[in-house]
Amino acid sequence: MQYAQGMDHMKRQSTAGGGVDRRGFLRAGLHAGVGLAAAGAFAPRVCGSDKSGLRAPVLGSGEHMYECVHDWLSPPDGLMWGDTHGLAQDRSGLIYVAHTVNAESTRSEAVVVFTPEGKFHGAWGSAFRGGAHGLDVRAEGADGSEAEFLYHCDTQRRLVVKTDLKGEVVWESGCPLQSGKYESPEKWCPTNVAFLPDGRLLVGDGYGSSYVHRYGADGAYESTLIGPGHERGQVSCPHGLWVDDRVVVRGRGPTLLVADRGNRRIQRFTLEGEHVEFLSDGVRMPCHFKTRNDLLLVPDLESVVTLMGMDGKAVVHLGDGHPSALRGRPRADFVPGRFIHPHTAIFLQSGDILVAEWVPIGRITLLRRVGA
């Protein structure tokens, strides 16, 4: 989303279950920055590493150190990044980037595909221009080894869209008016999905009215699991979702993590929507999640990427650039090794981390493991 559009989404949360307005975003961010700055053990370590004659920052500490390669992925000639919102990697290693497309771009494709080495491979999805947001990939079949599909959340058209890896639409799903939760489709704006073990999916209405809904594999609405508010078990801007099979509830299977961004916390639920616990250590404005082994990857809109352990505690904060006033600034003003507004992040098959940021000219950063 563009800057003004993004601020409008945050403002709307104050009437849809809570959240922060523009002043609140900045004021609350400053308070959070003070708290994290006090945790010296988690401050990013920035040192040098030779790469193509330049000095690249190295972030992190101990077992979690990463060379920080900004702009590792760049769009092809004629296509200019807009806000870089979504990332996914398929089984073959191809990397997909969802972005809104810059207003000055002469090309219109909102989904750009790269090889595992970071080379441009293709682009498609002009229909997502202006609204490309959440992006996730799932292998579907009896054993998970068959065809793969991409799931898109389009914040401009207010749709959840399933496509194949070439962009062919399988189904589209709009506002679930049958839920009884919406007076009009304009009160709905999906941001991310999560995949249930049985083939169904969950959708976070992050920029609409702060509900989490369950859908069938065919994209049909089934039920509402979580609603808006500030209390335990309620959410405000459920921006990202993740079914976490690292942590299970005895007899009830995996759990659901919700990036409860407007409430500045992460909540864990059962897959039926019952609150289990809060995760708040080092959390500011969490956007989404991915897991690898025991680690939880949390891109945070307030300028940091955090790795958390099984206990929900921060293991390391990477590239902490808070407070940042660089959104909308030219790339030359960006500070090496410091994030501006991380919006999503994924673990690549290599174990490296890829980060996409909510800045109008886009930025994709590779965090390459040191000593791997």
Separation between Cα atoms, residue 199 and residue 216, nearest integer Å? 8
Omega before residue 342 within 30° of 0, cis = no
Cα–Cα separations (whole angstroms), residue 60 to 34, 46, 143, 311, 322:
19, 8, 37, 19, 16
Domain for residue 370, yes or no? no
Domain for residue 132, yes or no? yes
Domain that includes residue 247, residue range = 3-360
Q: What is the dihedral of CA 276, 278, 279, 283, to 10 degrees?
A: 150
Separation between Cα atoms, residue 134 and residue 219, nearest integer Å? 16
Separation between Cα atoms, residue 320 and residue 303, nearest integer Å? 6
Domain for residue 280, yes or no? yes
Q: Tell how far CA 61 is from the center of its chain.
A: 24
pLDDT of residue 54: 67
Using only the alpha carbons of the chain, give its radius of gyration. Answer: 19
CB of 301 within 8 A of CB of 27?
A: no
Domain for residue 257, yes or no? yes
In sequence order, the β-bridge partners of residue 152 are 135, 161
Domain for residue 273, yes or no? yes
What does pLDDT average to in each consecutive run of 10 residues of the chain (372 residues)? 42 38 37 39 44 76 97 98 98 98 98 98 98 97 81 98 98 98 98 97 98 98 98 98 94 94 98 97 98 98 98 97 96 97 98 98 98 76
Domain for residue 90, yes or no? yes
CB of 80 within 8 A of CB of 62?
A: no
What does the buried/exposed string (b/e) look like for 288-299 if buried means 16 or more CB atoms within 10 Å of the residue's CB? bbbbeeebbbbb
CB of 271 within 8 A of CB of 287?
A: no
φ, ψ for residue 34, nearest 5 deg: -60, -45
DSSP per position, 233-257: T-BS-EEEEEEEEEEEETTTEEEEE
Q: What angle do CA 313, 97, 358 make, to 5 degrees?
A: 60
In sequence order, the β-bridge partners of residue 366 are 69, 354
pLDDT of residue 145: 65
- Helical H segments across the chain, by residue range: 3-12, 22-37
Domain for residue 365, yes or no? no
Helices and strands, counts by H and E, the chain: 2, 27
Separation between Cα atoms, residue 343 and residue 239, nearest integer Å? 10
The CATH number of whichever domain residue 305 belongs to comes to: 2.120.10.30
Separation between Cα atoms, residue 316 and residue 40, nearest integer Å? 11
Separation between Cα atoms, residue 58 and residue 49, nearest integer Å? 7
pLDDT of residue 146: 86
CB of 1 within 8 A of CB of 100?
A: yes
Q: Is 274 helix (H, G, I), strand (E, B) or coil?
A: coil
Nearest Cα to 312, choosing from 349, 339, 286, 337? 286
Domain for residue 356, yes or no? yes
Q: Burial level of 198, CB count in 10 A (0-12/13-18/19+)?
A: exposed
Separation between Cα atoms, residue 151 and residue 170, nearest integer Å? 10
The number of distinct structural domains making up the chain is: 1
